[in-house]
Amino acid sequence: MLIAPSLLSCDFSKMGEEIARMDKAGADWMHLDVMDGHFVPNITFGAPVIKWVRPFTDKPFDVHLMISDPLRYIDDFADAGADIITLHIESDSDIDKTIEKIKNRGIKAGLVLKPKTPAEAVFPYLDKLDLVLIMTVEPGFGGQSFMADMMPKVRAVKEEITKRGLSVLIEADGGIGEATIAEVAEAGVDVSVAGTAVFKADDPSQAIKKLAAY
């Protein structure tokens, strides 16, 4: 299991140091949630902040765009140092064009499904993707409770990926920690986004090690 600490749970006043702390603790990726206050009812940070914190680690930046018009901003996030860009299938942008733009910048592309969006919505795009992110909470705020009823969706996407012989990773985000990681792993998740479970842990390296063991 790859572990991607969610910067949504870090101390924003020292974001660079928090990234370095997670790097040292053994994180595989850094998960950065970009929110525009329109697509989701919260605002976090944009490309300029990502650019400033990029030098604090060599680990991949997994940038999750919770914004209405991701196509418009792909170049900004590519220039800021994103290694992976995921956009919501429910966004207003043309999905094919947005994936194409991400790929043309030499960046991995992923699609995100909100809890109410069925697994089948992503199937037409699987051949073009590197990643599918399945939300296990409603996007917008950290610290929410894990929704176990999203696991059949994970299994359905995994089954389709396997059936087609693709090498698309499945990522899950929301309420993942020591109490829920086994269920997530069993369903077929490859990458777990963990927020409070690692940032608020007494020993983040032990917390990451325990989660990664699955």
Residues assigned a catalytic role:
33, 173
Produce one character per residue of 189-211: b if its CB has 16 or more CB atoms within 10 Å, e if not.
bbbbbbbbbbbebeebeebbebb
The two three-digit tokens of residue 118, written as one number: 């069925």
DSSP 43: B
- The structure tokens listed for 45 are 């940070």
Q: Which of 123, 99, 103 is nearest to 113 (CA)?
A: 123
